[in-house]
Amino acid sequence: MELEVLKIDGTKAGRKAMLDDAIFGIEPNDHAIYLDVKQYLAAQRQGTSKTKDRSEVAYSTKKIIRQKGSGGARHGSIKANIYVGGGRAHGPKPRDYSFKLNKKVKQLARFSALSYKAKDNAIAVVEPFTMQAPKTKEFLNIIHNLRVNDRRILFIVPEKSANIVLSSRNLENVKVITPNNINTYEIMKAYSVVLVDGVQNSLKTEYKR
């Protein structure tokens, strides 16, 4: 698959970038995408929710009323979960929500996500660029010149650039990542994917090793 390489002013650079069909042209596997996104979101969960059960509530252990003769139900402790302030029954405990996913499944999921973007013509290739200083306005001009769907954009750059990251940090709908940090969730979340020319080779190396 070939795409025109664009300059940051939106004009054509006069050459084309080759996208590997083994990454951008496969038949997408929806279930692999589902599993990889599910794993990513599960890993983001802190798992620190905690409630006290009746053994942890600080109340008296004295028997409330006598066992028989009161005309009411039998109660042994004010710590019971039926009382206000008592321990909670079956409450959440700290836990790890992450789970293992085979490397080949994750690879298939990312190839599938990129292939979906390629089929939807939602990928643009821009020639390598740098920013002399963090300027959000200049970065917005670049996005406008590229004429991509700006509802949510994923920029994939060959290496981390502090000025580019800082320029995009205040933009809620823009995410800048490097090939080694790319994931299925961010690809599927984006409406447009912008590749800096040359990064497609890094993707091939990163995913096929």
The per-residue pLDDT for 81 is: 92
**Which long-range contacts does 81-88 make (Cβ < 8 Å, 24+ apart)?**
81/54, 85/57, 85/59, 86/54, 86/57, 86/59, 87/52, 87/53, 87/54, 87/55, 87/56, 87/57, 88/51, 88/52, 88/53
Q: What is the pLDDT of residue 203?
A: 75
d(CA 101, CA 118): 25
| The predicted structure's pLDDT at residue 164 | 93
pLDDT for residue 198: 84
Question: Residue 201: what pLDDT?
Answer: 74
For 20-64, how does the pLDDT look when each residue is reduced to its tens digit (9 = 90+)?
899 999 999 999 999 999 999 999 999 999 999 999 999 888 899
How much is the pTM?
Answer: 0.83
- Please name which of 21, 187, 193 lies closest in space to residue 110, comparing C-alpha atoms: 187
Superfamily of the domain at 2-46+102-208? Ribosomal protein L4/L1 (3.40.1370.10)
pLDDT confidence of residue 205:
62
pLDDT in 10s for each residue of the chain, 209 residues:
888 999 999 898 888 898 989 999 999 999 999 999 999 999 999 999 999 999 999 988 889 999 999 999 999 999 999 999 999 999 999 999 999 999 999 999 999 999 999 999 999 999 999 899 999 999 999 999 999 988 999 999 988 889 999 999 999 999 999 988 899 999 999 999 999 988 877 776 655 54
Nearest to 149 by CA among 129, 179, 123, 126: 123
Domain-wise residue ranges, the chain: 2-46+102-208, 51-91
